[in-house]
Amino acid sequence: MSNVLQQFLEENLEALREQGLYNEIDPVEGANGPVIQVRGKSLINLSSNNYLGLATNEHLKQIAQRTIEQYGVGAGAVRTINGTLDLHVKLEETLAKFKGTEAAISYQSGFNCNMAAISAVIDKHDAILSDQLNHASIIDGCRLSKAKIIAYNHSDMDDLRAKAKEAKASGLYKKIMIITDGVFSMDGDLAKLPEIVDIAKEFDCITYVDDAHGSGVTGKGAGTVKHFGLQQDIDFQIGTLSKAIGVVGGYVAGKKNLIDWLKVRSRPFLFSTALPPGDVAAITRAVEMLMESTALHDQLWENGDYLKKGLQQLGFNIGHSETPITPCIIGDEKLTQTFSKRLFEEGVYAKSIVFPTVPKGTGRVRNMPIATHTKGMLDDALAIYEKVGRELGVIG
């Protein structure tokens, strides 16, 4: 290793460790289900994005296995060269139906969607109005475009309107895009899409919603844009296939000419190998299942409501989530980390989230109930919350 790299790594790793900011990653031993094994310990898992439990669904596992037998384990090439399988075409038709749009395009991850789609239409002559709490991949996708990035206060529609007005009136930008998460994953609140659409219409802005945590969860499963009935008004609907859908990948859904453009101008589509066939077949079936029945979705919401009510009755501050995402706001960063560590020792896996991911003094343990948690598991988790909460003085 070069001296300069060696020095850089030693200094910076040491600094992170000293500040207690070096994240030791826990390997999960086995499937990522409602209960997981970590370091030989069985834990109720409240940390996954596997909202509907589809990551371990038996039917989807069989479909993936059968497809691997027929197609092999890899797509073979990037999509434009030789990597578009009939399975990819079927997936994209299914996604368009699911989202209520003319067309859709899949990518290798949700992160990649934001690397792909923003800079395919936005450049240095443009501006992006971006919610202050947008996900890291949106922020990076915006940076890649080289546009002027104008952050607006979180879900503050007066601030967004004022900034859209100013950007339009300045005459400096050829295009202006408004970009937001559909569901904000740290608090579980929804973007104010009807107001965003009104502002976009007033100032002729492009609208872009990354609904990574909404797909499969809000709008009876079809996402936050559908929840508000705005399928015809949002230009870009982004989703992941790695959370509620349970596999891996991401997609953009929208008008056919937008998707045609992304197929010729979005770089991760053009230069990175396509999703593997077993995954594509499992994803397609998962999306079909969501269109056929809301049973898993309904169970997810029932579990979310049950956990929220239980934590609230115990006296915890669960913020103002509008989705099953249930933050338990502790405040102090150190106390939050101790709280999460004690939950682990008692049998609950729920991660602490602290500054800089959330504002200082709002440290929280974030709980993600899923459809396949049983009431018994949630009751056990609540009992552990009560024990640790009293022990650490978080509740009376």
Q: 87: Cβ–Cβ under 8 A, 6 or more apart, which residues? A: 67, 71, 277, 280, 281, 284
Nearer Cβ to ligand PMP (173/349): 349
List 99, 135, 243, 297, catalytic entry: 243
Nearer Cβ to ligand PMP (107/316): 107
List 119, 185, 215, 352, catalytic entry: 185
Nearer Cβ to ligand PMP (184/385): 184
Q: For every residue of 123-148, which 3-state class applies, written as one string?
A: CCCCEEEEECCCCHHHHHHHHHHCCE
Shortest distance, CB of residue 239 to ligand PMP, whole angstroms?
A: 9
**Residue closest to ligand PMP, measured at CB:** 110
Distance CA 240, CA 213 (A): 8
Q: Which residues bind ligand PMP (CB under 6 A)?
A: 109-111, 135, 137, 181, 185, 210, 212-213, 240, 242, 250
Shortest distance, CB of residue 291 to ligand PMP, whole angstroms?
A: 20
The answer to whether residue 213 is catalytic is: yes
Shortest distance, CB of residue 102 to ligand PMP, whole angstroms?
A: 23
Shortest distance, CB of residue 107 to ligand PMP, whole angstroms?
A: 9
Shortest distance, CB of residue 144 to ligand PMP, whole angstroms?
A: 14
The answer to whether residue 226 is catalytic is: no
Contact 9, 2 (CB under 8 A): no
Distance CA 197, CA 190 (A): 14
* Residue 321 in tokens: 């989530």
Nearer Cβ to ligand PMP (135/297): 135
Shortest distance, CB of residue 210 to ligand PMP, whole angstroms?
A: 4
The answer to whether residue 272 is catalytic is: no
Distance CA 299, CA 89 (A): 31
Of the candidates 365, 371, 349, 385, which has an alpha carbon nearest to the alpha carbon of residue 36?
349
Shortest distance, CB of residue 138 to ligand PMP, whole angstroms?
A: 6
Shortest distance, CB of residue 317 to ligand PMP, whole angstroms?
A: 23
Nearer Cβ to ligand PMP (181/189): 181
List 163, 213, 227, 351, catalytic entry: 213
Nearer Cβ to ligand PMP (112/161): 112
Q: Which amino acid is it at 61?
A: K
Nearer Cβ to ligand PMP (218/242): 242
Contact 83, 271 (CB under 8 A): no
Nearer Cβ to ligand PMP (221/249): 249
**Angle at Cα 323 formed by Cα 321 and Cα 327, nearest 5°?**
45
Residue with tokens 């993936």: 64
Catalytic residue positions?
Answer: 185, 213, 243
